[in-house]
Structure 1
Amino acid sequence: MKDGKYSKYFPKQFQPETIVDQDGFPVYRRRDNGHTVLKNGIQVDNRNVVPYNAKLLTKYQAHINMEWCNQSTSIKYLFKYINKGYCRITAAIVPNDDGTSNQPQNIDEIKQYIDCRYVSPSEASWRIFSFPIHGRKPVVERLYFHCEGQNLVYYTDFDCINTVLEKPSVTESMFTSWFEANCKYLEAQNLTYSKFVSKFVYVKKKREWKPRQKGYTIGRLIWVPPTTGELYYLRLMLTHIKGPRSYNDIKIVNNVKYDTFRDACFAMGFIGDDREFIAAIKEANHWGSGKYLRLLFVHMLLSGSINRPRHVWSKTCHLLADGILYAQQRIANNRGIIFPIL
């Protein structure tokens, strides 16, 4: 009970069979057989039973709640907790005033405020014994790409311009080395850029790709918004084009060379009727929250690049509304609230 009301959407409704609702959550069977129990002066029935697993309760002799989960959004839920950062506490330094001093004291509230990281005893022991903190398998490698002559070059304020231009990173990059590998290896011509790391390894010192001898890696193209123009359309082409040897090869569709990547995407059927914006929202849904998707949609509207905003909304409204219904259900403490999307 919380504030005199049931929390966690209890009591549930009677359910003859276990089903999965429209949001992907399981609704477990709760039979209306008339069995009741008197607990703390309150009469409860099957509607108040928390989901459990009888075998786990018997084995561990502990209070264990268990629910079935099969949603792809659970991955976002897990990574949200992993990337939210460490627990922090706020501390304040206060002078010890015993009342004997009559002199006015100057208090610097800014210096007194301290934002600290909280280390629990279990975490401290874990680090003292040098246990592994986290693991990741399989390895995911971010694949960078750029338009011709627009690769990133890092230098300091004191570097001479001639020295900067002599750096190998000016003319060579991971992406341009991929073109050279497609010319050198026959197997590379049957792989897209994102699948390339599964068979090849990029050696940074030599700035070249070599065949993979062991291990398995998943490639992920860095995400760019549609407002980047040609760079965004280049990314669309890289998801389908196999074995190009130059930028011009990426622009060839059905033996026809186009002037821009946008024209090539249109020939491939990737864009048209604002499909590129719909695809961008659907792709961002795999890792972004509903609030971020709505912010992304606002930026698209402000950019003025969407031809039919209502059409984009109708195709992605179920993604843009993610989290709104859940927040309202939490506020009203009623899981049965349903807001129809027009």
Structure 2
Amino acid sequence: MTSLFDTLKEKIAGKDIKIVFPEGDDLRVVTAAARLKKEALLEPVVLGDEALVTSLKEEAGFGDVDLTVINPETYGNLSEMKALFLDLRKGKATPEQADQLLKDVNYFGVMLVQMGLAAGMVSGAAHSTADTVRPALQIIKTKPGVSRTSGVFIMNRDSSNERLVFGDCAINIDPNAQELAEIAVNTAETAKIFDIDPKIAMLSFSTKGSGKSPDVDKVAEATRLAKEMAPELALDGELQFDAAYVAAVASLKAPDSPVAGHANTFIFPDLQAGNIGYKIAERLGGFEAIGPILQGLNKPVNDLSRGSNAEDIYKLGIITAAQALD
């Protein structure tokens, strides 16, 4: 199997997809942006003071790379941006509040995306998840029919040529059945971006009624709703993880299931299970956890861990550009 990032690079190379990196005062961010530009994978738009970005670029060894830098404090089209922002917020922000918010690089970056001046944004190296996601939810908003965004991880293990999707592992603490169904359908669409033909397991501690609990009922109902929303998907539940992943177990616990035993897209019933699950797979199973990748937004905005290194930021830039092609 071609490696995940080789596949994604082939998709985005030479297409000049513009991705905003708001944290231009961070060496890690500038390093990643300059590398992406040097390799002609995308067209980074870095926010910050041009002299500082130039200095960081030289420190990173990319002094010869010509990055597009926008300083929000001296931006020439700020009045147009402000007018659009106020129209989008429709009375939820005063002109004075707009002036203040547009000094925030995340709001400014999201507005560039909304204005069509960039295709997506990567932030979070020096900001919290809330600081990154809130402007996206307020301005870019979720796709029609999607009530909320969610976060998935691509679990990649080159040694066994496995590529799985785990969701939601980042955003929704305790989704109800309708929200869980939406997460499943959105995750299937994300899987396709990464050349994964989604076979979706709605996970539980029960397989096909073996356990009785309101928690089991929630997953069963989410499965029913997801099938109504997207009947073309290969999706089943409720399934325990072993029944979803191991063919021998599936033959005993769910012999008639269309996905049991060979699922590759796993929907966890709540955030506790999702977070624990992806970290076990990462630490004990030897999978690389790539993400979280936010889904459900009209345009891609992705959140970094504040512990990210330049390689992590580089990879999330590639992923965000791939999402923008979808």
Q: Give the TM-score taking structure 1 as reference length.
A: 0.27
* Bigger RCO of structures 1 and 2 (CA < 8 A, at least 6 apart): 2
Give the structure with the higher percent strand. Answer: 2
Larger radius of gyration: 1
Q: Give the TM-score taking structure 2 as reference length.
A: 0.28
Give the structure with the higher percent helix. Answer: 2
